[in-house]
């Protein structure tokens, strides 16, 4: 649930698991092949070969991969939840957006933000795309889907579950952003009668903390650098379908659960740094801030300070009641969260470049072992090669930065380290807008040559003219 799908075959297959390692095979005119299935293309199709090549890589199923190690660590923190990690990434627009209450004009639906296979089918942008699907499967006892849980007996009706999966978004290019990444989704529901009983024992809504503790969730260590000045109010409201005491209990239960898990993970990161001889310099401060999502209210984000910046690692909140109603669970209420695994893994293992998670370089892969937390030792950095590209924007104003990011990544793959706007001005007479972007090229495992980068840069420039309609300067 972090923010931030009706090809008939795609809808029927959405979420059904497939063995890791099945990759994009081929595409024919008017068709796109993804993980052994083919889909018709249309005017919405914008999924590139570079992105499709990431599907089926199965990083979460490689026991020695840092993302798989972190996933297993989180799964162990939630023994009473059903665990899913083999749901396919192709979903319908209904799953990814409509079922979660995204407005028709929500920016997340835009082609500039989402990788579409066709108008009705896409690569999921978040693990929340499976919320309604898994809740409904639990309510109707859908054996085929429930059987995909690694430990279905823990929550046989999917009253509580985790989903770990790869997700895809068109995004900027820098050391902490990548268009293919991984999330863990958590959903926890309660029967309304169960909450009433807990609150009764704890003497009402004023004792929501006591009721949450009585439900088995301990508070996080007070030694953690954790701050929360958020309040539930008009700007972050309780849903009209919920009694105030229900919402307060759910928020308290969720925050205690998140605090305990995140503080525990960050404590392991600090310990790993100390073991490697590094000074953790006060650890990793954590803060709660108010947020808004189409599918939760009230809503929050957790942020962690890393390399001097506050990074969002989690979006969460009280689930919109219509989702549970649509799933056939009107007598239950719940909360949900979504974690970005790469952001947490960068903290936990001391990995400073998000591209490394996709690397097969043995200097990276050989440093990790199943179940072991250790600080990544940087191998020698190869020199960068920087190129600027200046251009006039199209007169129609149709340029979008994410289109440029995709174009550069398609041409350079993981040789591109960063793309950033360095200059923009408007001509005082013509009113035309000129921009200059700086592209940093750097290989993670070898020294690149100027001739090699010049050839890539020329492909980028040519593609910008043909596909983005810009005029080079």
Q: Mean of the pLDDT values across residues 314-334?
A: 97
Predicted confidence (pLDDT) at residue 19 exceeds the cutoff of 50: no
Q: Is 336 helix (H, G, I), strand (E, B) or coil?
A: strand
pLDDT value at residue 226: 82
pLDDT value at residue 2: 42
Within 10 A of 43 (CB to CB), how many other CB atoms are there?
Answer: 9
pLDDT value at residue 22: 32
What are the residues whose beta carbons fall under 8 Å from the beta carbon of 9, sequence distance 6 or more? 37, 39
387-396 pLDDT, tens digit per residue, is 999 999 998 7
pLDDT value at residue 283: 66
- What span, in angstroms and rounded, lies between the C-alpha atoms of 372 and 354? 20
What are the residues whose beta carbons fall under 8 Å from the beta carbon of 243, sequence distance 6 or more? none
User: Would 8-349 and 385-472 be classified into the same CATH topology?
Assistant: no
Q: Which of 10-14, 32-36, 422-426 shows the lowest mean pLDDT across its residues?
A: 10-14
pLDDT value at residue 217: 58
Tell me if 311 sits within 8 A of 339, measured CB to CB.
Answer: no
Q: Mean of the pLDDT values across residues 456-468?
A: 95
pLDDT value at residue 206: 52
CATH architecture, domain defined by 385-472: 2-Layer Sandwich (3.30)
Task: Tell me the pLDDT band of 210, cut-offs 50, 70 and 90.
Answer: low
Q: Mean of the pLDDT values across residues 304-318?
A: 85
Predicted confidence (pLDDT) at residue 465 exceeds the cutoff of 90: yes
The tokens describing 216, both together, are 């088995």
* Torsion angles phi and psi, residue 114, rounded to 5: -125, 145
Tell me if 145 sits within 8 A of 137, measured CB to CB.
Answer: yes
Tell me if 40 sits within 8 A of 27, measured CB to CB.
Answer: no
Q: Pick 173 or 67 by higher pLDDT.
A: 67
Percent of the chain with pLDDT over 90: 68
According to DSSP, residue 464 is labeled I
Q: Pick 292 or 280 by higher pLDDT.
A: 292
Beta strands in 307-451 (DSSP E): 309-319, 332-340, 385-392, 416-426, 433-441
Tell me if 357 sits within 8 A of 409, measured CB to CB.
Answer: no
pLDDT value at residue 215: 61
Tell me if 412 sits within 8 A of 389, measured CB to CB.
Answer: no
Task: Tell me the pLDDT band of 305, cut-offs 50, 70 and 90.
Answer: confident
Predicted confidence (pLDDT) at residue 12 exceeds the cutoff of 80: no
- 170 φ/ψ sector (left φ>0, alpha ψ -120 to 50, else beta): beta
pLDDT value at residue 211: 64
- What span, in angstroms and rounded, lies between the C-alpha atoms of 420 and 436? 9
pTM across the whole model = 0.84
Report the candidate in 411, 405, 406 with the shortest Cα–Cα distance to residue 453. 411
Exposure string for 394-430, b = 16+ CB within 10 A, e = fewer? eeeeebebbbbbbbbbbbbebbbbbbeeeeeeeeeee
Instruction: Please work out, in degrees rounded to the nearest 5, the angle formed at the alpha carbon of residue 213 by the alpha carbons of 212 and 215.
Output: 65
- What span, in angstroms and rounded, lies between the C-alpha atoms of 374 and 381? 20
Q: Give the position of tokens 């989903």.
A: 163
Signed CA dihedral, 324, 116, 180, 397: sign only:
negative
CATH number for region 8-349: 3.30.930.10
Torsion of CA 316, 318, 320, 321, to 10 degrees: 150
Predicted confidence (pLDDT) at residue 225 exceeds the cutoff of 80: no
Tell me if 117 sits within 8 A of 281, measured CB to CB.
Answer: no
Element housing 388 (H / E): strand 385-392
365-378 pLDDT, tens digit per residue, is 999 999 999 999 98
| DSSP class per residue in 132-186 | HHHHHHHHHT-HHHHTTSTTGGGSTT-SEEEEEEEEE----BBTTB-SEEEEEEE
pLDDT value at residue 280: 55
pLDDT value at residue 142: 94
Q: Do strands 309-319 and 116-118 pair parallel, antiparallel, or not at all (unpaired)?
A: unpaired
Rg (CA), the chain: 23
pLDDT value at residue 11: 33
Within 10 A of 18 (CB to CB), how many other CB atoms are there?
Answer: 15
- What span, in angstroms and rounded, lies between the C-alpha atoms of 150 and 147? 8
Cis omega (within 30 of 0) for bond into 392: no
pLDDT value at residue 17: 33
Q: Of how many residues is the chain composed?
A: 473
The tokens describing 418, both together, are 């960063």
Task: Tell me the pLDDT band of 21, cut-offs 50, 70 and 90.
Answer: very low
Q: Mean of the pLDDT values across residues 150-170?
A: 96
Q: Mean of the pLDDT values across residues 231-236?
A: 93
Q: Pick 312 or 97 by higher pLDDT.
A: 97
Name the average pLDDT for the chain: 87
Per-domain residue ranges of the chain = 8-349, 385-472
Predicted confidence (pLDDT) at residue 325 exceeds the cutoff of 70: yes
Tell me if 314 sits within 8 A of 258, measured CB to CB.
Answer: yes
Task: Tell me the pLDDT band of 276, cut-offs 50, 70 and 90.
Answer: low
Predicted confidence (pLDDT) at residue 244 exceeds the cutoff of 70: yes
Report the candidate in 411, 257, 389 with the shortest Cα–Cα distance to residue 336. 257
According to DSSP, residue 389 is labeled E
Q: Mean of the pLDDT values across residues 396-400?
A: 80
pLDDT value at residue 336: 98
Report the candidate in 106, 102, 105, 123 with the shortest Cα–Cα distance to residue 114. 123
Task: Tell me the pLDDT band of 26, cut-offs 50, 70 and 90.
Answer: very low
- What span, in angstroms and rounded, lies between the C-alpha atoms of 170 and 406? 7
Q: Mean of the pLDDT values across residues 151-178?
A: 93
């Amino acid at each position: 649930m972090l923010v931030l799908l009706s090809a008939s075959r795609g809808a029927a297959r959405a979420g059904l698991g497939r063995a890791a390692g099945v990759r994009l095979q081929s595409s024919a005119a008017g068709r796109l092949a993804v993980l052994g299935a083919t889909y018709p293309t249309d005017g919405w199709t914008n999924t590139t070969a570079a992105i499709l090549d990431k599907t089926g890589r199965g990083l979460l199923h490689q026991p020695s991969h840092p993302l798989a190690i972190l996933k297993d660590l989180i799964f162990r923190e939630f023994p009473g939840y059903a665990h899913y990690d083999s749901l396919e990434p192709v979903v319908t627009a209904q799953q990814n957006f409509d079922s979660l209450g995204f407005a028709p004009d929500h920016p997340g639906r835009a082609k500039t933000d989402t990788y579409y296979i066709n108008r009705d089918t896409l690569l999921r942008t978040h693990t929340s795309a499976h919320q309604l699907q898994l809740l409904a499967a639990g309510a109707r006892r859908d054996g085929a889907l429930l059987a995909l849980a690694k430990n279905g007996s823990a929550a046989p009706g999917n009253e509580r579950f985790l989903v770990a999966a790869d997700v895809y978004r068109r995004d900027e290019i820098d050391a902490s952003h990548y268009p293919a990444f991984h999330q863990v989704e958590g959903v926890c529901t309660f029967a309304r009668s169960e909450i009433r009983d807990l609150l009764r024992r704890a003497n009402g809504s004023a004792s929501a903390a006591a009721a949450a503790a009585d439900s088995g969730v301990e508070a996080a260590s007070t030694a953690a650098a954790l701050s929360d000045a958020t309040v539930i109010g008009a700007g972050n409201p309780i849903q009209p379908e919920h009694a105030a005491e229900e919402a307060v209990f759910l928020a308290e239960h969720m925050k205690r659960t998140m605090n305990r898990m995140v503080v525990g993970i960050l404590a392991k990161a600090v310990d790993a740094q100390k073991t490697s001889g590094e000074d953790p310099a006060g650890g990793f401060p954590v803060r709660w801030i108010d947020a808004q999502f189409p599918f939760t209210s009230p809503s929050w984000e957790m942020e962690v300070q890393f390399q001097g910046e506050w990074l969002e690692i989690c979006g969460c909140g009280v689930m919109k009641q219509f989702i549970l109603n649509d799933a056939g669970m009107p007598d239950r209420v719940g909360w949900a969260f979504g974690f970005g695994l790469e952001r947490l893994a960068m903290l936990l293992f001391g990995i400073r470049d998000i591209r490394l998670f996709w690397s097969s370089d043995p200097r990276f892969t050989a440093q990790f072992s199943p179940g072991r937390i250790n600080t990544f030792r940087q191998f020698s950095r190869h020199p960068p090669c920087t190129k600027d590209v200046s251009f006039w924007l199209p007169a129609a104003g149709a340029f979008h930065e994410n289109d440029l990011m995709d174009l550069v990544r398609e041409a350079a793959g993981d040789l591109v380290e960063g793309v950033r706007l360095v200059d923009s001005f408007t001509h005082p007479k013509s009113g035309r807008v000129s921009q200059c972007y700086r592209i940093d090229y750097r290989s993670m495992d070898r020294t690149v040559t100027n001739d090699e980068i010049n050839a890539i840069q020329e492909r980028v420039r040519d593609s910008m003219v043909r596909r983005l309609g810009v005029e080079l300067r």
